Homo-oligomer: A and B are copies of this chain.
Amino acid sequence: MTHPEILFLPNREAVRVPTGTPLLEAAQKAAVDLEAPCNGKGTCGKCRVQLVEGALPTPHHDELGHLSSAELASGVRLACRQEASGNSVVRLVSAGRGGERILCDGLLPAFELDPPVTKRLVVLPPATLEDNCDDLTRLERALGCELAGSVSLEFLRQLPHALRHSPAAFKEPAKACTESTNASRAGGWPVTVVFHGGRPIGIEPGDTRERCYGVAVDIGTTTVVAALIDLASGAELATASMVNPQKAHGLDVLSRIQRLKEEPAALDGLTALIRGGLDQLLGELCEEARVSRDDLYELVVAANATMTHLLLGIDPSAIGSSPYVPAFSGSVELPAAELGLLLARCARVYCLPAVSGYIGADIVAGLLASELESSDRPALLIDIGTNGEMVLGSAHGLTACSCAAGPALEGMNISCGMRAAQGAIERVELNAEVATRTIGDAPALGICGSGIIDAVAELVKVGAVLPSGRFDKSSAAGEAVSWRARLKNEGAGRFILAEAAADRGEVAVSQKDIRQVQLAKGAILSGILSLTAQLGIRPADIDRIYLAGAFGHRIRKESLGRLGMVPAECLDRAIPIGNSSKAGAIMALLSLKKRALAEQLARRVGYVELSCYPGYDRLFAEALAFPKERA
């Protein structure tokens, strides 16, 4: 039996394992930090690696569900589903990370690569006294297109240097010339021209075609997730995420806008915070993927309308109060330098378009990823973050609405609420016993979004919370099942999930916490019912429900049902699709066609303003009640 050597990048850990050993096991043996929550079962899709050298194996069936066609094509595989078969070099695609848990991944449908950013090598004949036209005219001739008036000042600044300083490394004039209109001239000036949507934006000395990257970013009110993408292969080379650095200025967009209304000068500060955050993520991405910032040519942004305004330094105040009007909702494309972002000097930023002040570009990106517009039967995309947004429709038409779910479902404004970090209760089960699970199996410090939803759902299940949302205090005096002792009758009542200890307080669910969850679920359910009514269909007609974002990823379907957050009829048609905002941003980064589709969708989606919608108040009141316990 042979023992091939596996070299893991980026840190160059090497290990020899017997042929047939799963790469995941090899990685563990090499002490490489590769995340694998399902521990090799092929279900979590986390242990991604890119096979850089060695034979590229046919994808395993389990991999098809987790990896996009672009990823597969670029050699990305799951380490648990591939075996060592010969010496090979393997790059970790998504390194494990500690701290706060942020949902980075999103499902990508298959699509054709057609990135707006492309590179072309040309070799120019050097200037002579007989042929001394200016540099730009010389380049025009070689490219066979007019450039005057279409190139930037930065392009002109780079031009004379790029023409006259081709690196010594350029040693293939014969091959290069075949691409040039000046093929017959040897010893010319080789330059690589960077195009964006057909327009030349940059010029670099020598042949730099191998290095062409972009970044897709999802800017949420709460979190920011970015991915570094190889524009030639479509491979996702690195991801990075952070808590939105504006968090200190308000948890939701309304409180940030309120701050702006009180102090308009704060706009610059909020803008600087998110730009600084992006800059940090760019640094992390480049380090992880071993890519230079100079080789990043485009940043595609999917963000809600308020965050897009704040990123661009545009006052979003009018979004904050009736009639909720943004300054703009179309896409915006501009030089990255205008935002002070450090990418290639010629890099562009493209902000995906929004539908309205509360149906932002993140939802338009989600539409790209969920492909609602090509579905024959009605499907629902629902994204529950700090706000709840949803789009219902099919190839026959799309309608959206936004509801104020409040931050409860994210574990905010909850008495013991905390973010999804070490020590947060994320799972609760009430049967005879009270069973809880914390992130990192650490002692319980608080409760995060999925935890509070689970807790309330379970309390409804066992009847400790009535359909009206009130604690059934009488139940505390009932049979001697252990959880009953946790229900305390003081005041409005509270339910203890974890007792206090020497170094920490108790973690409990209060009556007010239950109200918060109830208001959120009522807002979401009444939104769904308003959309079905608007389209003239019944809830049962909804063919699929795409649950976008962390909420959809972490919530248990049972809890969704027990809370009555989606119509009971379509509970089993719910599909978590992960961070669809980031996924859509990647699609817009890699495909002009998808980008054009996003522009179309943003204009085509109808918008229902719930606050004006006839009968909404009644729908909302009805939607508040929890379903009768079925346990």
Contact = CB atoms under 8 A, between A and B. Distances in A.
Interface of A: 127-137, 148-149, 152-153, 156-157, 159-161, 164, 312-315, 317-318, 322-334, 338, 356-357, 609, 611-612
Contact of A129 (B135, B156, B333, B612): B612
Contacts of A331: 148-149
A335 to B, nearest CB: 9
A315 B165 CA distance: 13
A127 B323 contact: yes
B157 A313 contact: yes
A369 B314 CA distance: 43
A609 B128 CA distance: 12
A153 B612 contact: no
The complex is assembled from copies of this chain, and their number is 2
Contacts of A328: 134-137, 148, 156, 159
B323 A157 contact: no
B356 A132 contact: yes
A134 B323 contact: no
A332 B153 contact: yes
Given A157-B313, A160-B318, A129 B611 contact: yes
Given A137-B329, A157-B313, A129 B164 contact: no
Nearest to A160: B327
What 3 A-B pairs come out closest when comparing CB atoms? A132-B323, A148-B330, A136-B328
A325 B189 CA distance: 14
Nearest to A316: B160
Given A160-B327, A330-B149, A129 B318 contact: no
5 contacts: A134-B328, A134-B329, A136-B330, A137-B328, A153-B313
Contacts of A131: 323
A129 B329 contact: no
A602 to B, nearest CB: 10
A323 B130 CA distance: 8
Contact of A325 (B134, B325, B356): B134
A153 B312 CA distance: 7
B159 A129 contact: no
A268 B312 CA distance: 28
A203 to B, nearest CB: 11
A324 B132 contact: yes
Contacts of A357: 132, 134
B317 A160 contact: yes
A318 B156 contact: no
A596 to B, nearest CB: 13
Contacts of A327: 134-136, 156, 159-160
Contact of A326 (B135, B161, B329, B333): B135
A160 B316 CA distance: 8
Contact of A609 (B132, B314, B330, B332): B132
Contact of A127 (B156, B325, B612): B325
